[in-house]
Amino acid sequence: METHTQKFKIRLGLFIAGGLALFVIAIFIIGKQKNLFNPVFKLTTTFYNVSGLQVGNNIRFSGINVGTVDNIIIINDSTVRVDMLIKREVQRFIKTDCEAGVGSAGLIGDRLLVITQGSNEAIMVKDGQQIGSREPVETDAIMASLRVTAYNAEIVSDELANIMIKVNSGKGTIGRLIQDSTIAENLSQTMVNIKKSSKGLDENMQAAKHNFLLKGFFNKKAKAEKKTKDSIESIKAKEQKLKDKKKK
């Protein structure tokens, strides 16, 4: 009987010790997440709409969790104040022109507060100071915009389908050009006529060059072109001589 009692006491003691150990570990983990064991400083900001942000949500700066949301208070019908507790070690990196915005840990993750980086010229924030904010974009507004975009895309798709149906059936200018073989043949004949006209014009020009009355005109034109070409070559030769002298 005494042996059974001793075993029961040992089990009870182990159970209590394990429970205390789990309690201490839980307190340590929660305290670490809530910055209970780290020196912190306080910042505040205001929003028109916090978009589901809650007390205890993380605060990120440069993609790193640096604090938690300490309190959310409704000031009036258009202003909500958010109090932040941030690690003291990152205070020197947060400047007075930094802004806070409500973000998300993922597509369907918890809400969090994101502090943007400030400029190098700005000074460091002080404990209890208020910083600027950026209003979050509501999911409902995004979905509404997507619905409008989808509706417009559907209209454009229907219009394109109607145009292709008309083209394939030979309606309209483009449809007649594609479907009517007579128009295609006429276009081909027109191109042939243009080529013939161009060839005839070249022949007339060659004949005009050998004509006694126009021969002088073409000779003067050839001499003028040769003179211009010689002038250009002379200028290039002079420039080359100057370059050679500079190199020497």
- Let me know: does 157 contact 151? Beta carbons within 8 Å: no
Give residue 35's pLDDT: 54
Give residue 135's pLDDT: 84
Mean per-residue pLDDT of the chain: 76
Burial 27-40 (b: 16+ CB within 10 A, else e): eeeeeeeebeeeeb
11: which strand partners?
none
pLDDT digits (tens, 9 = 90+) for 145-203: 777 787 788 788 877 877 777 666 666 666 666 665 666 676 777 777 777 766 666 65
Nearest to 180 by CA among 190, 169, 189: 169
Which two three-digit tokens encode residue 17?
């010790």
Number of H helices, E strands in the chain: 5, 8
Q: List the domain boundaries for the chain.
A: 39-136, 180-229
Give residue 236's pLDDT: 76
Give the span between the Cα atoms of 199 and 204, in whole angstroms.
9
Task: Could you list the beta-strand ranges (E) of 92-134.
Answer: 99-104, 111-115, 129-130, 132-134
Give residue 58's pLDDT: 92
> Which residues of the chain register pLDDT less than 70?
1-9, 12-13, 23-38, 106-108, 137-144, 166-184, 186, 197-222, 245-248
Q: C-alpha distances in angstroms, 205 versus 86, 208, 221, 224?
A: 89, 5, 14, 19
